[in-house]
A = this chain, B = another copy of it.
């Protein structure tokens, strides 16, 4: 499974208006707190991998958690990576288990997400603590061969929303936060 995702900075009020005009379907609103872990045996910053525990609190449902591994980029243009993921019942125990194995919590990213469905893509309005407002357009494809056309279509969805694909930011929220903390 490959995640194809493009992200631009964007004022949410304007994008929300366009989503309504285009008949996008509201999906949900959630708060996500992502903790990223350092590995004891590899430098993830160098191998371009990530290990994350996500604790998600939906506006209208039970809190849940996910454990996710992200592999190195397979397609740089749309920052496409292999993801391996499972829902876990105990977010806290999962963090403790990783710590016991020598994986240390390195950084936390907290954001409010508002999700819509439009033309088969998930459009997410992200308000990220310490960074501001962004819009992500995202889908998943089965094979690497489908990545490029999925990315072109994502650019087209951005344009429909009045956004400019040239403003795409390829750095993750984690990366942006780390850059901001270095300045």
Stretch at the interface among A83-91, A107-115, A160-168, A169-177: A83-91
* Pair B93/A84 contact, Cβ less than 8 Å: yes
Closest to A68 in B: B97
Across the interface, A89 reaches (CB within 8 A) one of B41, B69, B86, B94, namely B86
Interface of A is mostly: mixed
Instruction: Say yes or no: is A102 at the interface (Cβ < 8 Å to chain B).
Output: yes
A53 to chain B, nearest CB (A): 10
Count A-side interface residues using an 8 Å CB cutoff.
Answer: 24
* Pair A96/B84 contact, Cβ less than 8 Å: yes
Provide the residues of chain B in CB contact with A86, threshold 8 Å. Answer: 88-90, 93-94, 97
Q: Bound complex: CA of A71 vs CA of B102, how far in Å? A: 12
Pairs across A and B, CB under 8 Å, 21 listed: A39-B101, A40-B41, A41-B102, A42-B102, A67-B88, A67-B94, A67-B97, A68-B97, A69-B100, A71-B100, A84-B93, A84-B96, A84-B100, A85-B93, A85-B97, A86-B88, A86-B89, A86-B90, A86-B94, A87-B88, A88-B89
Q: Given A42-B102, A85-B93, 8 more contacts at CB 8 Å?
A: A40-B41, A41-B102, A67-B88, A69-B100, A69-B101, A84-B93, A84-B100, A86-B97
